[in-house]
Structures are given as structure tokens and as C-alpha cells.
Amino acid sequence: MTESLQLNQDCAAMLRGDQGPALQFAMQLVERAAGVMGARELVPVGFAHIDACFYSGRAHVDFARFMLEAGARFEIPAWTNNGLVSLANERIRDPKTEMARGAKELMQLYAELGCRTVWTCAPYQLPGGPGFGDHIVVGESNAVSFYNAAVGARTNKYGDYLDVACGLTGYAPLCGLHTDEGRRAQVLFDTSAVPDGLKRQDIYFHLLGTVMGQHAGKQVPAIDALDPEVGDDALKAISAAAAAAGGVEHWHGIGRTPEAPDRDTAFAGLDPTRTIAVTLDTLAAARHSLTSASDGTIEMVALGTPHFSFTEFAELVPLLQGRRINPATKLYISTSRHVRDLAAQNGWADALEKAGAEIIVDTCTYFSPAVRGCTGRVMTNAAKWAWYAPGMLGVEVCFGSLRECAESAVKGEVWRDQALWRGLA
């Protein structure tokens, strides 16, 4: 199956073992994956976002230790996704369990392998990352979707170990979203029936992404029109929701995203194979798929899936400054150390903590032990959190806007901005 794969001298030398057993094994994995994926050649990659640092069992630790002891080190920038535990927030660590010990050991191993330990699922919020046209290797689903769509960098969705193998060798199979053909839009989402007022609300992007995930299948979707002024937080929301609800790895927002200045460019001159009408009804259906609970008292508000950005902090602070979150309700904000430090410099972290919020870094709220004890109703502004949490945590979820989440945290029960949901009940 790999007879037709063309390897350059560099790759052939790795495969022979000229650069040691770690790179030999890594290249064997890349070569076999290329065979399965039908690639005829490999493409050099200049950046990796490593997902295998997220503990899922002893095999993850054994793999990283094997690579480290066999002499492997990342030579391209390799940034880490979230860990299963936070190395910074002492209180939410749980060192008593084997899982927490393994998770910490695994995170340490990836640091020793030469990763930049950013511990974030939103690496695109940090400076110095990849740019338009760069071939990269990413495993985290929302980051795959964001880098492809919003940045115009090129990556397939790499599973655990293959992300490390590609990152260590600096090569990936040339196929799928690394090629022009694989990136072309195929299915059009027509949003002309959606009122303009709704298109300016943060909930719209979460709902639209969910609709795209539910209807795109394996095709690359394009939104018929996306305001050029729409910010990165909205692109993050669409990326994360579409990836969670249906596995979308690349999408186009015509008029906004870099490969879609117009419809013809996005579709490479071809017609859409399908057109899906986005209406108030389809958005309402998406809203219902993100809500498993009726409104009522809430135990927790979860913000920051994917990680909360600097601009999201800027929106949240005026909503909570000088107020007090209901003592029966926890408000968690997941973010990266980098963004937390920026928020702290502005005095925002302090203001939010005074209001009773807790900022969690390095991990996701739905994996942290503090949140795992939660059994009641949870409100979130993140479609991705709402999509996964009922299954992963067994909690009931209410989806709402950032403002609704903040007001609800203060009140201790779900508060609705009725005007926002007109037509979406």
C-alpha cells in the first residue's frame, strides 16, 4: 500500500534509522498513515499543536517516555493543548488519583520533549503562531477548524501519536486539507432569512456553527455571507460548534475568512452540491440541541470553551465588576496562562475574582476535578461545552449569551434576555 509513496532523502534517512530509533518509529507512523490516507507524498510542516499531552491512559505516558528516552526532541514549534489537570491552579488539582498523577507526568514529558507549554485549546489566541498558507499539524478539533478557516493555515485533523510523529519528523501526509482540492467549499449555508439584528449577537455564531455541524456531513461548508467586521471570537464560536456538532474541519465565511473573499473563490468556480437554508427554525432547533434543562436555579456557569480570549474578558468585566455572584453558584472561566496574565495586568482578573468568579488555566472545565463534582444545572455561553457536557459530566445544560450567563450567575438562576430569543423559542 505504501509502494507509491514518494519519500525525499531526508524522510528516507529517518525511515532507515539514520537519525535514531525515535525518528525512525515516528517516520514509520507517518508513512503508514500516508498509506491509509492515500497520500502519494509527504509535505514539510512548520508548526504542531500537540493533543497527545492530554492523558487518556498509561499508553500515552509510555509513548511519550519511549520517544524521550530514544532521543526525540521537537525541532519545529510544538505547542501543547490542554492537559487533563492544571499545573497552575493548586486548588483544583487532585493528586490523589492515578489519573491526576499520570496526567501531570505526561505534561512534564511533553515539556521535556521540547514543547512550548502553552496548555491551551485556543493556541491561535497567542502571538507567534502559523499564518496563511502554512502547512501545520493540529489535533484539537476546534483549533483544526479555526486554523483552517480563520487563519488559512492547512491541517488535517491528526489523532493522538500521529500529531507527535508528524511534529517530530516535520512531515505530514500530503492529502485532504493540505491540498487546494480538499479545501474547496462544497455546501452552501444560505443565511439570507436570518434577521440582521440576530446576526450581530454572540449566540448567532454558536447556533450557526451547530447547524453547520449538523448538516455539512463530510463536506466543506461555506456561509453565504459573513460580516467583514466579525471578530475572532465569533470565528472561534463557529469553528468550535461546527467541529463538536459534526466534525467540520474547515469552513468558509464568504466576505470574511481568508480563502473566501467571494463565493466563486470559495467554491473554486464550481456550484455548491447542496444549499441549506438557515432559518429561525433551524437556529431554534440548534438551540434546543444545546439545552437539556429547563430554566431554573443554576449550580454553575462555565465560560471559556474553547479558552476565553482577551476580548471576551473585556466584554465580561463590565457585566460583573462591583457585583457579587450568588454564593450558591460557581462561575468558572477557562483560559490560557497567557490570556490570564493579560487580564491580570488590566486588573480584570482581580475584579472578576472579587465578584466571586474563578479563573482556571491549563485545562477545560469539563475535565477539572472541581467541576466533576457538579451534578445540577449548568449554564454556558459555549456551544461546544453544551454539546459535550451532558454526556461527559451527566449535568443538565442551559445555553445562553455571555450577558445572560453573567446575569444568571449573579441571580443564581437562569435569566433570559427575552428580546434576544424572539423567534428562536
Partner 1 sequence: MMAELQARVLYPGAAEGPVLWLDEPLSFWGGFDPATGIIVDNNHPQSGVCITDTILVLPATRGSGGTPGGVAEAIRLGTGPKAIIMATADANVMIGAAVAEKLYGLTCPVLEISQSAFTSLQHAENMSLTPDGQMSF
> Which cell goes with 411?
441571580
Residue position matching grid coordinates 514518494: 6
What CA–CA distances, in Å, run from 335 to 23, 151, 235? 33, 20, 17
Distance in angstroms (rounded) separating the CA atoms of residues 125 and 133: 18
140 near partner 1, rule: CB under 8 A: yes
- Least separation in angstroms between CB 166 and partner 1: 11
Question: Closest CB to partner 1 among 119 and 313?
Answer: 119
Applying CB under 8 A, the span of 113-121, 159-167, 177-185, 302-310 interacting with partner 1 comes to 159-167
How would you class 400 by CB atoms within 10 Å of its CB: exposed for 0-12, middle for 13-18, buried for 19 or more? Answer: buried
Distance in angstroms (rounded) separating the CA atoms of residues 258 and 239: 14
101 near partner 1, rule: CB under 8 A: no
Among positions 82, 120, 141, 336, the unique one binding partner 1 when judged by CB under 8 A: 141
Cβ partners under 8 Å of residue 76, min gap 6: 45, 46, 47, 48, 167, 170
Among positions 161, 267, 308, 415, the unique one binding partner 1 when judged by CB under 8 A: 161
- Which residues, numbered 261-320, are part of the site for partner 1 (CB under 8 A)? none
56 near partner 1, rule: CB under 8 A: yes
Q: What is the DSSP string of 185-206?
A: --EEEE-TTS-HHHHTSHHHHH
- Least separation in angstroms between CB 1 and partner 1: 7
396 membership: H or E segment, kind and range: strand 396-399
Among positions 71, 159, 231, 296, the unique one binding partner 1 when judged by CB under 8 A: 159
Q: Which of 156, 292, 287, 151 is nearest to 210 (CA)?
A: 287
Cβ partners under 8 Å of residue 417, min gap 6: 401, 403, 404
Question: Residue-wise over 40-72: b if at least 16 C-beta within 10 A, else e?
Answer: eebbebebbbbbbbbbeeeebbebbeebbeeeb
Applying CB under 8 A, the span of 62-70, 110-118, 296-304, 327-335 interacting with partner 1 comes to 62-70
Q: Give φ, ψ of 191 to 5 degrees.
A: -105, 15
Applying CB under 8 A, the span of 30-38, 145-153, 317-325, 413-421 interacting with partner 1 comes to 30-38
Question: Closest CB to partner 1 among 163 and 202?
Answer: 163
At position 216, the amino acid (one-letter code) is A
421 near partner 1, rule: CB under 8 A: no
Number of residues lying near partner 1 (CB under 8 A) = 33
163 near partner 1, rule: CB under 8 A: yes
Applying CB under 8 A, the span of 54-62, 266-274, 294-302, 347-355 interacting with partner 1 comes to 54-62
168 near partner 1, rule: CB under 8 A: no
Question: Closest CB to partner 1 among 217 and 347?
Answer: 217
- Least separation in angstroms between CB 130 and partner 1: 19
What residues line the site for partner 1 (CB under 8 A)? 1, 25, 28-29, 32-33, 35-37, 51-52, 54, 56-60, 62-63, 66, 139-141, 157-163, 165, 247, 391
